[in-house]
Amino acid sequence: MLKQERAIFIMDHLELTYPKTPVPLINSNNFELLVAVLLSAQCTDERVNKVTPSLFAIANNPFEMEKVDIEIIYNIIRPCGLAPKKSKAIHDLSKILVDKFHGIVPKDIEELEKLPGVGHKTASVVISQGFGLPAFPVDTHIHRLAQRWGLTNGKNVKQTEKDLKKLFPSKKWNKLHLQIIFYGREFCSAWSCDGTICKICTTCYPKRKKPFKTKKS
């Protein structure tokens, strides 16, 4: 298969497998989404969803969150890991949102990336899921799958994002990002498939016999 042929097959197969793509992180507004995505760094969505109800019961907007003591935030989000940095980031970004943006989460990815604790991937998720704007958030898992499926030779998530955006139409990015995540968890995880087992891997590379090794920067 040529790369474009693989891309079309993957897109069609994922659409059949996951016609609906519910947002994994439970939230009721863009501030909650921003905080939840920030908390999900090096943490499972399931754990984040267990922690955020307690946090958002205290404050679910930046006006209330900036008034909450960092220690209180820390004690609530501790199960998510990296709690010292994340609790400070949540408190500080809330203050910035109030002071600079009148308490409104900005619709601009560059402004989002300037907020404490918010990287490109987190900002992309907020832009995609919060505002419905085209974005293709790429984390290490999507990076691994894109390499495994022959969609990129990029050695880092930045290059992989560029390659995926070139391969797929922008109207598909938001849904496809989630479909890849869902498929990776269910069928093509790091431990359940080595590049020679799942439907996508065996269809794209029927002659592959040895486990595929992800290229890292």
Return the active site residues: 121, 139
Q: How far is CA 209 from CA 183, 187, 188, in A?
A: 21, 18, 16
Half-sphere exposure of 171 (CA within 13 A, CB side): 0
CB-based contacts of 86, cutoff 8 Å, min separation 6: 38, 39, 41, 77, 80, 117
What is the distance between the alpha carbons of residues 15 and 17, in angstroms, rounded to a whole number? Answer: 5
Find where tokens 């960092």 sit. Answer: 70
CB-based contacts of 77, cutoff 8 Å, min separation 6: 39, 51, 55, 83, 86, 87, 90
Find where tokens 């991937």 sit. Answer: 121
Q: Locate 39 and state its tokens.
A: 């908390």
